[in-house]
Amino acid sequence: MNNRRVVVTGLGAVTPIGNNLQEYWSGLLSGKNGVELITKFDTTNFDTKFAAEVKDFKPELYVDFKNLKRIDNFSVYALASATQAMEDAGFASGSYDPDRFGVIFGSGIGGLKSLENQFLIYYNDNSPKKISPFFVTMMIADIAGGHISIKFGLKGPNYSTTSACATSSHAIADAFMLIQRGTADAMICGGAEAAATELGIGGFGAMRAISTWNDRFKEASRPFDKDRNGFVLGEGSGALILEEYEHAVKRGAKIYAEISGIGLTGDAFHMTAPDPEGDGAVRAMKECIRDAGIDLNKIDYINAHGTSTPLNDKTETKAIKTVFGKHAYELAISSVKSMTGHLLGAAGAIEAVATILAVKNDIIPPTINLDTPDPECDLFYTPKVAIKRKVDYAISNTFGFGGHNASLLFKKIEV
C-alpha cells in the first residue's frame, strides 16, 4: 500500500506570548518574552518565583460559564487551540465526515491544579464526600481530547499521548501515521498543559530542573548560553489539523506545509538526563530524514528542543553535529523556549506550529537571551533576532524525561 501524503491545514495556539496563532507568530518574530513573576499563587516560600503563564486569556470565548467550573485549565487551553485550528482549516461549519475525523491530544501532567484543589478539600474536612464528582474528569490527562471530540462531534480515533516533553510530538506523529495508513482523513492533534501551579513549580524546583534567577527572570530562559541554569515552566496549548492531501485539495483547503517524516526513539539511559552522546536524539533525527526519503543536506532549519538546561543544550548540539557533520554549521537553529518557556506536554505542538510557519514564510524565529554562547554549543542558533531564510525542509525536536525522543520533519508543499 502506498502511503498517503499528509498536510497541515489548520493551526491554533494559546501561549505565554499570544492567545491565538497571529499573536503567537508575531510574538516569536519580535522576540517577545513571555516570562513574568507568577500571578496565580503566593510564591513567598518558593525558590523560583516566575514562570511563563498564559496572560489575558478569555476562557468564556471557548467554554460556557457553567462548564468552566468542571474543566481544568489544561482542557480549556486545549479547547481554545483546537477551536482556532478548526476555524483556521475551514471545518468550523461542520463540513466533514465525523467518522473519518479523529483526535489525538496529549498532556504530560494533566489537571494538576484540580488535583491540588481536591486534595485540600478532602484534607481540610477529612471527608471523601466533599470531593467533587467532576474531580477525575478534570484531572485525567486524556480528557482534553474527549472534550474536543464532543465539541466537534468527531468519531474517528480518539486518545491521548503522554511522554513528558515529547507528548504532543507523539500525538502529531500518531495522527500522521493514522492518516497515512487510511484510518482517518483528518485529525486534530496537539497538546495542552497548565502545570504552573504550587506542585508544578515546587516539584521541578525540588529536582533542580528550573531556573532560580528571580532577580533576572526575564533573562532566565537562555538556551545554549553558558550561564543557563534550568528551564522556565510555561503553560498553554497548540493544535494542528492534519489532513490527507487529496482530501484537502478536493475541498479547496489552504495548506501550510506537508509532514513527510517522523523519528521516534528511546534513550534507555536515565529518567531525567539525556544520553551523554545524544544517541536517542541522533537516531530520532536520522529516522525522520530516512522516513521522508531525502538527503540530510536538504534540511534548512531545526527548531531545537533547547530547554536552557545544562545537559540538554550541549547534548542536543552534539547530536546535531553527529547527524549532520559539516552541514550542522550551515543550519539555522533556534529555540522558541527562550520566549515561551517550556510547555512540557504542549511544547511539541506549539514548536511544531513555529516550525511549520517558518517553512511557510521562510522566516526563522530567534533564540533570545543568547548573550554568551556556551563553547560546547557552537552552532548558529539565530541569536536575538529573526532572520529571513529559505526553508524548504525543517525538523522540530522534542526530548522528554524518561528518554522519550521525537523528531518531526516538515517540508514546503509540492503540488
Tell me the three-class secondary structure of 268-332, residue by residue.
CCCCCCCCCCCHHHHHHHHHHHHHHCCCHHHCCEEECCCCCCHHHHHHHHHHHHHHHHHHHHHCE
Residue range 27-56: mean pLDDT, rounded: 98
Question: Is the model's pLDDT at 1 over the cut of 60?
Answer: no
Q: Supply the pLDDT for residue 164.
A: 95
Q: CA of 301: how far to CAs of 6, 277, 297, 407, in Å? A: 20, 22, 11, 13
pLDDT band at 380 (very low <50, low <70, confident <90, very high): very high
The pair phi, psi for residue 185, each rounded to 5°, is -100, -25
Share of residues in the chain with pLDDT > 90 (%): 93
pLDDT of res. 274: 82
Whole-structure pTM value: 0.97
- How far apart (Å, rounded) are the C-alpha atoms in residues 274 and 285? 15
Q: Cα separation of 118 and 98, whole Å?
A: 35
pLDDT number for residue 415: 62
- Strands (DSSP E) contained in 72-185 are 101-106, 158-159
pLDDT at residue 276 is higher than 90: no
Q: Tell me whether strands 6-14 and 257-266 are parallel, antiparallel or unpaired.
A: antiparallel
Rounded to the nearest angstrom, the gap between the alpha carbon of residue 381 and the centroid of all alpha carbons in its chain is: 19
Provide the pLDDT for residue 94.
75
* Confidence at residue 271, expressed as pLDDT on a 0 to 100 scale: 83
Strands 101-106 vs 404-411: parallel, antiparallel or unpaired: unpaired
Q: Grade residue 2 by pLDDT with cuts at 50, 70 and 90.
A: low
Residues annotated as catalytic (active site), given as ranges: 165, 305, 342
User: Which range is least confidently modeled, 33-37, 105-109, 201-205, 267-271?
Assistant: 267-271
Tally the C-alpha atoms within 13 A of residue 6's C-alpha that lie toward its C-beta.
31
* Unique residue bearing C-alpha cell 521516534: 264
Read off the pLDDT of each residue in 330-355 and give the average, rounded to a whole number: 98
Helix (H, G, I), strand (E, B) or coil at 68: helix
Average pLDDT over residues 257-266: 97
